[in-house]
């Protein structure tokens, strides 16, 4: 699984609303009604991440959750990150 | 509830192992065996935070969890943050 090229990432982002490429990571900020709703989302993401064996960085800021996806071994975004982003969108 | 002075914070930190003051926040990094253990800790912290109505910033990095506590209304660390840090330590 190798690092995607900028144009491959750009293409993948077309089908990933509000995901952005920042510092070699796919990043999205989700906003919820409150902390409890945000935590519900985090728990769901965590279960999915554990199932697929790929774990996003997760930052919780009260009702906001920032996810960041990268493949450390490749030093950037791979198909694995794109796939997990898609799966999170489909949750 | 007003902002604590640097010496009040320093005193409080003496009883809060590995907590540090950084950018007007009390911060600590916890390390666990794996992601599942880290998430277990996050869920426990989240329940406590919701109970006391004070919510730390929570950053999850696979098996590491970084907590940061501040009181936004006061622009810095208050007794409320110190109390929550203590309660997290006692969990």
**pTM of the shown model:** 0.96
Spans of all domains in chain A: 6-90
Residue A1: band (very low, low, confident or very high) from pLDDT cuts 50, 70, 90: confident
Q: Measured between alpha carbons, how far is A69 from A83 in angstroms, rounded to an integer?
A: 10
* Three-state helix/strand/coil letters over B19-70: CEEECCEEEEEEECCCHHHHHHHHHHHHHHHHHHCCCCEEEEECCEEEEEEC
Torsion angle defined by CA atoms of residues B79, B47, A57 and A34, in that order, rounded to the nearest 10 degrees: -90
Contacts of B43 in chain A (CB under 8 A): 39, 43
pLDDT in tens, A17-59: 999 999 999 999 999 999 999 999 999 999 999 999 999 999 9
pLDDT of residue A90: 96
pLDDT of residue B1: 74
Mean pLDDT score across all residues of chain B: 97
Mean pLDDT confidence for A76-80 = 97
pLDDT of residue A63: 98
Topology of A6-90 in CATH? Answer: Gyrase A; domain 2 (3.30.1360)
Inspect the interface and report whether the beta carbons of A57 and B55 lie closer than 8 Å. no
Inspect the interface and report whether the beta carbons of B60 and A58 lie closer than 8 Å. yes
């Amino acid at each position: 699984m190798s690092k995607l090229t900028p144009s491959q990432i750009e293409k993948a982002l077309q089908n990933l609303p509000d995901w952005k490429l920042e510092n070699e990571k796919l990043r999205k900020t989700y906003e919820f009604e409150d902390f409890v709703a945000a935590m519900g989302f985090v728990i769901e993401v965590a279960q999915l991440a554990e199932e697929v064996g790929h774990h996003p960085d997760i930052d919780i800021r009260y009702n906001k959750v920032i996810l960041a996806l990268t493949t450390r071994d490749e030093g950037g975004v791979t198909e694995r990150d794109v796939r997990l982003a898609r799966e999170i969108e489909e949750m």
